[in-house]
Amino acid sequence: MQPEDPRAPAVLVMVVTIAPEHQPAFHDWYDREHIPELLRIPGVRSATRYDVRGEPDTFMAVYELDHVDVVESAAFLDWRRASRSTDRMAALFSRSMRFAGARRNPA
């Protein structure tokens, strides 16, 4: 029997650029509201935030998922429709990109 692979089979990656004057509120919201809300959604394993190298005022979050379809699940879509704080914060982004992907190889 093969040991269980601890790596996530899928990820959601979010990259946003936000003006410096909005960053304190952005970081507070992300850490205190956004990540805890997402981690309550079934299938979202973890969240890790990064500063994007070479891109000023740009930040990335990587969410490990049980399956790539988590982002289309009823729980995820219900959260997204109900999250007014996300809508308010997203209005401040000058750029945003979102990618969901499944791990390609088992090795």
Say what the pLDDT of residue 104 is: 85
Query: Can you give the pTM of this predicted structure?
Result: 0.89
Q: Over 70: is that where the pLDDT of 1 sits?
A: no
Q: What's the mean pLDDT when you consider all of the chain?
A: 92
Phi/psi at 87 (5° precision) = -60, -45
SS (H, E, C) the chain: CCCCCCCCCEEEEEEEEECHHHHHHHHHHHHHHHHHHHHCCCCEEEEEEEECCCCCCEEEEEEEECCHHHHHCHHHHHHHHHCHHHHHHHCCEEEEEEEEEECCCCC
67-100 tens-digit pLDDT = 999 999 999 999 999 989 999 999 999 999 999 9
Residues 26, 31: Cα–Cα separation, whole Å: 9
Q: Above 70 in pLDDT, residue 2? A: no
pLDDT tops 80 at residue 6? no
pLDDT at 7: 76
pLDDT of residue 3: 56
Q: Which residue has the higher pLDDT, 84 or 13?
A: 13
